[in-house]
Amino acid sequence: MANKDYYSILGVSKDASQDDIKKAFRKLAHKHHPDKQGGDEAKFKEANEAYGVLSDPEKRKRYDQFGSADGPTGFGGFSGGQAGGFDFGDFQFGGGGGFEDIFSDLFGGGFAGARSRGPRAGSDIQVDVEIPFMEMVSGTEKTVRIRKAIPCTECGGTGGKKGSKEVSCSDCGGSGRIRQAVRSVLGTFEQVVQCPKCHGKGKRFEEDCPKCHGTGRMTGEDEVTVRIPAGIDDGQVISVPGKGAAGEPGAPSGDLFVAVHVKPHPTLMRRGETVLSKMPISYAQAALGDTVSVETVEGPVRMKIPAGTQPGEVFRIRGKGLRNVRGFGQGDHLVTVTVAVPKHLSGKERKLVEQLRDTERKG
């Protein structure tokens, strides 16, 4: 893990808060997830690795100090009996030295003295919303209906039967943790895990809720109204904090992520905040000049075609593009002129074109 700039990978500064790091990781995870179209498994794993270090205060501290979450020298310097190629005679699990984090990654949990994680937060949910091009231009609101874990309607998410008292958990003695023996290639170690009975709270109700059986959650439907800002990019993801799945009793809900997809417009395209379109004109309009009506995102606009306009020439209509999604100004509208050549000419028209040709040859 050394020699990688995890801050650059996540696109955050070295003094970024945990909330900023979490938001940056979620954005990259949704963008590069290998199950999504256009996902990048390598970048997803790289972002996941960076988040695994920077989201953990102790690992981040070691990384900032030594350039690695493992510290300066890894496992060197131990004495005592051999176990799987390493000396563990003087190694004290749970001593708070930080090595428990490394072994936790290997064996899926903490060791004696490791802190309980407590009740688990709800999972994040992502949904897709499709909007017409013109709704992207002006901004809109959409109501999404999602099926997810919601707080139990009977107990309000506590997990206890109405009128039941909260008491110390008998399984963990109120600590929220229980000890387990874990066998590995390095021997047998004692592991501390969250108490499954009280979900790490250390307390539970004398009687479980009969509807959710003590989980505090049930499956249900929820409607969430999402504000979509004007000028949003196709595929951009909007986060709605706390509108994901409900967490375990005492834990927060996850977040809702809404991926916005914009339907193509028949005649208009976008390039950032610039709107693009094509305007077919006749040979006579190109040669003699004219004033034409151009469809823009703000309605029809009259545009002057000067005499001698060439096919492919581009005209700019200022301030008729898209509004910046952050509210900083508005783009322009670029019109590319195409000259329409008639497939069929009347006898009179043909003679006029021939006269023009002959004049050009003489000139």
pLDDT in tens, 90-120: 333 333 334 444 444 444 444 444 444 567 8
**pLDDT (tens digit per residue) in 162-204:** 989 989 988 888 888 888 777 766 667 778 888 877 877 888 8
pLDDT of residue 353: 78
The Cβ of residue 65 has, within 10 Å, a number of other Cβ atoms equal to 10
pLDDT, average across residues 318-344: 89
Read off the pLDDT of each residue in 5-17 and give the average, rounded to a whole number: 91
Greatest Cα pair distance, the chain, in angstroms, is: 107
Which of 95, 94, 97, 124 is closest to 109 using CA atoms?
94
DSSP 120: P
Domain ranges of the chain: 1-73, 269-362
Q: pLDDT per residue over 281-305, tens digit each?
A: 998 899 899 999 999 999 999 999 9
Look at residue 354 in the predicted model and tell me its pLDDT: 81
Which range, of 26-40, 81-95, 166-180, averages the lowest pLDDT?
81-95
Confidence of residue 357 (pLDDT cuts 50, 70, 90): confident
Q: Where is pLDDT greater, at 207 or 250? A: 207
Same fold, 1-73 and 269-362: no
Contacts of 218 (CB under 8 A, 6+ apart): 149, 150, 151, 152, 153, 211, 212
Per-residue confidence at 27, pLDDT binned at 50, 70, 90? confident
**Which pLDDT does position 114 carry in this prediction?**
42
Question: Which pLDDT score, from 0 to 100, does residue 180 have?
Answer: 79
Nearest in space to 26 (alpha carbons), one of 56, 4, 48, 1:
48
Residue 125 has pLDDT above 70, yes or no: yes
Is 185 within 8 Å of 84 (Cβ atoms)? yes
Mean pLDDT of 61-66: 83
* Among 53, 267, 205, 27, residue whose Cα is nearest residue 124: 27
Q: What is the dihedral of CA 143, 147, 153, 154, to 10 degrees?
A: 170
Mean per-residue pLDDT for 61-86? Answer: 55
**DSSP three-state, residue 205:** strand
Distances (CA, A) of 277 to 230, 280, 316: 20, 10, 11
Decide which of 3.40.50.300, 1.10.30.50, 1.20.140.10, 2.60.260.20 is the CATH code for 269-362. Answer: 2.60.260.20
From 20-34, 273-287, 290-304, the region with the lowest mean pLDDT: 20-34
Tell me what the mean pLDDT of segment 207-211 comes to: 92
Least confident of 46-55, 75-84, 202-211: 75-84
Q: Is 74's pLDDT higher than 90? A: no
Between CA 115 and CA 10 the distance in angstroms is 27
Q: Pairing between strand 125-131 and 256-262? A: parallel
* Burial call 215-228: b when 16+ CB within 10 Å, e when fewer: bbbbeeebebebeb
CA nearest 225: which of 312, 129, 293, 153?
Answer: 129
> Quick check: 340 pLDDT over 70?
yes
- State the pLDDT at residue 200: 79
Q: What dihedral do alpha carbons 246, 222, 152, 252 form, nearest 10°?
A: 20
* Mean pLDDT for all residues in the chain: 82
How many angstroms separate the first and last alpha carbons of the chain?
A: 75
Domain 1-73 CATH assignment equals 3.40.50.150 = no
pLDDT at res. 186? 62
In angstroms, the CA 13 to CA 16 distance is 5
Q: Are 202 and 169 in contact (CB under 8 A)?
A: yes
Long-range contacts of 329-333 (CB under 8 A, 24+ apart): 329/273, 330/273, 331/272, 331/273, 331/274, 331/275, 332/274, 332/275, 333/274, 333/275, 333/276, 333/277, 333/294, 333/296, 333/297, 333/301
Q: Is the pLDDT of residue 148 over 90?
A: yes
Q: Could you report the per-residue pLDDT of 211-257, keeping only the tens digit for each?
A: 998 888 999 999 999 999 999 999 999 999 999 999 888 889 999 99
Per-residue pLDDT at 184: 65
What distance in Å separates the CA atoms of residue 209 and residue 186, rounded to the nearest whole number? 43
* pLDDT given at position 72: 55
Which of 36, 35, 9 has the alpha carbon at shortest distance from 24?
9
Unique residue bearing structure tokens 């937060």 = 121
The residue type at 38 = G
Cα 48 from Cα 269, distance rounded (Å): 35
